[in-house]
Amino acid sequence: MKRRSLLRAAPALMYAPSLVLAQSAQAGYPAKPIRYIVPVAAGGGSDMVGRTVTERWGALLKQSFIVDNQGGGGGVIAAQATARAAPDGYTLMQGYVATHGTSPATRKLPYDAVKDFTPIGMIGGTPNVLVVNAALPVNNVKEFIEYLRKNPGKVSYGSAGAGSLTHLTMELFKQQINSFMVHIPYRGIAPAFTDLIGGQTQAMFPGLAAALPHIRSGRVRPLAVTGMQRHPQFKDLPTLDESGFKGFDAQQWYGVVGPAGMPSPIVKQLNETLATVLKAPDLREKLSVEAVEPIVMSPEQFGEFIRADIARWSKLARERNIQLDS
């Protein structure tokens, strides 16, 4: 009799931990500070985005966020720490295009960008912008393509590193125009800009935030931005879509994920409060420093966005034979 009773009780025992988590989610979450892992060193644009959002998010949840900067490994260290954390809502991570987009598409990683995480919601994104050295005799995308065809093999472009968004975006552009440019990878966007300004390279596809000071100083010339809409800070600058590249999109995006298996009540609460934060006009103004436009998504929409981004860049990586070591 005892054995039969235990067998009948086994399924309930098996699901007991998740039931406890779900019940605790409904009973006063969050009851302590939330650890918010940012996969870059303190002081950069991504760090600013995280601190700006969590300051307002914490006030809304009536609980503080502790920002934990874990740079290194292109976000691998931070992603592993997040994936291994308890799925109780007290460890979150600011995932971005590298950790949950381009790196899974081009490298073998010690984590699964989809299966090892719970999507919470998008924060926002900034487009990439096609820029050229100011001395290059081109003023728009059409003239740039004509210049490439008249000067085969003489134009090189820089990137923030092999497999980065700046690399893949230009490879997508090259694929669509069926033209050749030499790729010069750098260790970060700053040295890539130094050589672009100095004329060692002639073009690049950086994120708009990184390009802003160089565009405003006149040291580089913008030709077009990615995305379907012109950016509010550069309303006279056309999109690639307008320039004949229908659907051409790439963006430096930021979002929030947690470990896999988080209880749905916690995910719902976090998503709804994050959406409230993102809709505040003063947040849009703050994020405009990094040219980031807030984007509200449900957890399901954000999860689908991540899967689509990985699939898109994976397809390009296969077609362009871009496969890097982890």
Weakest mean pLDDT among 4-18, 52-66, 102-116: 4-18
Cβ–Cβ under 8 Å, residues 32 and 38: no
Q: What does the pLDDT average to over 169-198? A: 96
pLDDT tens, position by position, 261-314? 999 999 999 999 999 999 999 999 999 989 999 999 999 999 999 999 999 999
* pLDDT value for 72: 87
Look up tokens 């100011």; give the residue. 134
> What mean pLDDT comes out for the span 208-222?
95
Highest mean pLDDT among 10-14, 165-169, 208-212, 233-237: 165-169
> What mean pLDDT comes out for the span 220-249?
94
Q: How far, in Å, CA of 201 to CA of 192, rounded?
A: 8
pLDDT of residue 326: 45
**Residue 134 — pLDDT band, cuts 50, 70, 90?**
very high
> 278 near 123, Cβ under 8 Å?
yes
Alpha carbons 29 and 20: distance in angstroms, whole number: 13
Query: Which pair of tokens denotes residue 28?
Result: 């006063």
> What's the pLDDT at 27?
67
Q: If pLDDT is split at 50, 70 and 90, which confidence band does 86 have?
A: very high
Q: Check if the beta carbon of residue 125 is closer than 8 Å to that of residue 254.
A: yes
Would you tell me the crossing angle of helices 264-278 and 299-319 to the nearest 10 degrees? 80
- Strands 91-96, 182-185: pairing is unpaired
Question: Does the pLDDT at position 153 exceed 80?
Answer: yes
CA–CA dist 157, 302 (Å, integer): 32
What is d(CA 40, CA 78) in angstroms, rounded to the nearest whole number? 8
Q: What average pLDDT does the segment 34-60 reach?
A: 96
If you average pLDDT over every residue of the chain, what do you get? 92
User: What is the Cα–Cα distance from 244 to 241, expressed in whole angstroms?
Assistant: 6
CA-based end-to-end distance of the chain: 55
Residue bearing tokens 């912008």: 129
Q: How far apart are CA 253 and CA 98, in angstroms?
A: 9
Q: Which of 117, 83, 80, 87 is nearest to 17 (CA)?
A: 87
Contact by Cβ (8 Å): 204, 215: no
Type and span of the H or E element at 304: helix 299-319
Structural domains in the chain plus CATH codes = 31-126+252-319 (3.40.190.150), 129-225 (3.40.190.10)
Instruction: Tokens for 188, please give them.
Output: 């970060």
Q: Which candidate, 277, 299, 291, places its Cα nearest to that of 52?
A: 277
Give alpha helix (H) positions in 45-164.
45-61, 76-84, 103-106, 141-150
325: confidence class by pLDDT, cuts 50, 70, 90: confident
Q: What pLDDT is stored for residue 14 in this prediction?
A: 41
Percentages helix, strand, coil for the chain, rounded to the nearest 5? 45, 20, 35
> Is residue 31 pLDDT above 60, yes or no?
yes
